[in-house]
C-alpha cells in the first residue's frame, strides 16, 4: 500500500498534464535550479511530481533529492521511449520489469557492456507487484495488445539509427525500448531501497526516422500515458 508516490518525468510535456490534474497543488521550492517539483493529490494519492530534465545525471540527482526531501513509498518514472524490439510499435506501451544503462562501458577491464564495476548489480528490478498492476492499468486503458513488459535500457544518447539500435540488441537482446533516464532513477531507488517502476509510451522506433517520429507522436501519446498512471494510482 503506497501512501506517498513520487512521479518523475524528464520533459515538461511528460508531466505538465499531471500537474494540471493535481488537487491541493503546491509548488515546492527546491534549492536546485531547473528542478520543478509539485506536490498534491492525484487519484486520491499523495503525490510528488518532478520534471527532472533529460539524461541520467539529471534523473539521478532529482531522484535522490526527492527521496531525501519527501521519503516516498514508491517511485514511478514516466515518459516516452524509442521501440527497440520488433514487437514494439509506435504508441505501444512498455512496462519495465528491469532496466540497465546500455552505454556503461568498462569492457577494457573485462566487464560486459552495461556492467557498472564494483556495484552488486547493474540490472535494476522493478517492483513486481506494481509491474502487474501497471500492466493491468495499461491493458484496461489501451487493450493488452499494445502493452509489453520486459527490459528497458537507458543511455545518454537519443538513439536514431538502425545501426545504433542493432548494436543495443546485440549487447542486450531482450531490450524492449530505449530512453535516457529510467535506469538511473531505478539505480538510485534501488540503492535507497525504495520500490520503483518505469512506464514508457513509444514515440518512435529508434531508427533513422526517430527524430521526426518523436516530434510527431510525442504530444499524441502523452494523454494516454497520463491516463494509465492515474489508473495505476487507483489500483495501488
Binder of ligand ADE out of 159, 198, 199, 232 (CB under 6 A): 159
- Are 215 and 158 contacting, i.e. CB atoms less than 8 angstroms apart? no
**179 binding ligand ADE? (CB under 6 A):** yes
Task: State the catalytic residue, choosing from 14, 92, 141, 181.
Answer: 14
Give 186 or 233: the residue with its C-beta nearer to ligand ADE: 186
Residue 170 among the catalytic residues: no
Select from 23-31, 131-139, 186-194, 200-208 the region that touches ligand ADE (CB under 6 A).
200-208
Backbone angles phi, psi at 106, to 5 degrees: -120, 40
**Look-up of cell digits 492515474:** 230
Residues 119, 68: Cα–Cα separation, whole Å: 22
Touching ligand ADE, residues 213-232 (CB under 6 A): 214
CB of 169 to ligand ADE, least distance (A): 13
Residues 177, 91: Cα–Cα separation, whole Å: 12
CB of 102 to ligand ADE, least distance (A): 10
**Which cell numbers in the block locate residue 213?**
517520429
Closest chain position to ligand ADE (CB): 82
- Are 15 and 53 contacting, i.e. CB atoms less than 8 angstroms apart? no
Residues 57, 156: Cα–Cα separation, whole Å: 9
Residue 187's DSSP bridge partners are none
Give 39 or 78: the residue with its C-beta nearer to ligand ADE: 78
Residue 188 CA, distance from chain mean position: 13
Give 98 or 164: the residue with its C-beta nearer to ligand ADE: 164
- Are 7 and 15 contacting, i.e. CB atoms less than 8 angstroms apart? yes
Binder of ligand ADE out of 82, 96, 114, 182 (CB under 6 A): 82
**80 binding ligand ADE? (CB under 6 A):** yes
**Look-up of cell digits 520533459:** 11
Active site residues: 14, 204
* Residues making contact with ligand ADE (CB under 6 A): 80-82, 158-160, 178-180, 203-204, 206, 210, 214
Amino acid at each position: 500500500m503506497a501512501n506517498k508516490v513520487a512521479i518523475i518525468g524528464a520533459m515538461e510535456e511528460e508531466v505538465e498534464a499531471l500537474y494540471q490534474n493535481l488537487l491541493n497543488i503546491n509548488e515546492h521550492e527546491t534549492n536546485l535550479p531547473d528542478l520543478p517539483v509539485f506536490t498534491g493529490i492525484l487519484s486520491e494519492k499523495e503525490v510528488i511530481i518532478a520534471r527532472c530534465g533529460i539524461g541520467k545525471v539529471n534523473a539521478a540527482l532529482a531522484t535522490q533529492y526527492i527521496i531525501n526531501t519527501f521519503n516516498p513509498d514508491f517511485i514511478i518514472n514516466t515518459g516516452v521511449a524509442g521501440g527497440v524490439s520488433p514487437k514494439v510499435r509506435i504508441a505501444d506501451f512498455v512496462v519495465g520489469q528491469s532496466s540497465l544503462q546500455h552505454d556503461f562501458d568498462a569492457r577494457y577491464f573485462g566487464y560486459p557492456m552495461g556492467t557498472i564495476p564494483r556495484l552488486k548489480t547493474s540490472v535494476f528490478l522493478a517492483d513486481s507487484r506494481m509491474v502487474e498492476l501497471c500492466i493491468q492499468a495499461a491493458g484496461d486503458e489501451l487493450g493488452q495488445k499494445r502493452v509489453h513488459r520486459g527490459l528497458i535500457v537507458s543511455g545518454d544518447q537519443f538513439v536514431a539509427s538502425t545501426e545504433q539500435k542493432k548494436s543495443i540488441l546485440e549487447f542486450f537482446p531482450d531490450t524492449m525500448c530505449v530512453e535516457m533516464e529510467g535506469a538511473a532513477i531505478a539505480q538510485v531507488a534501488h540503492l535507497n531501497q525504495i520500490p520503483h517502476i518505469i512506464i514508457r509510451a513509444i514515440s518512435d522506433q529508434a531508427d533513422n526516422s526517430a527524430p521526426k517520429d518523436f516530434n510527431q507522436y510525442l504530444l499524441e501519446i502523452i494523454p494516454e500515458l497520463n491516463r494509465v498512471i492515474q489508473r495505476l494510482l487507483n489500483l495501488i
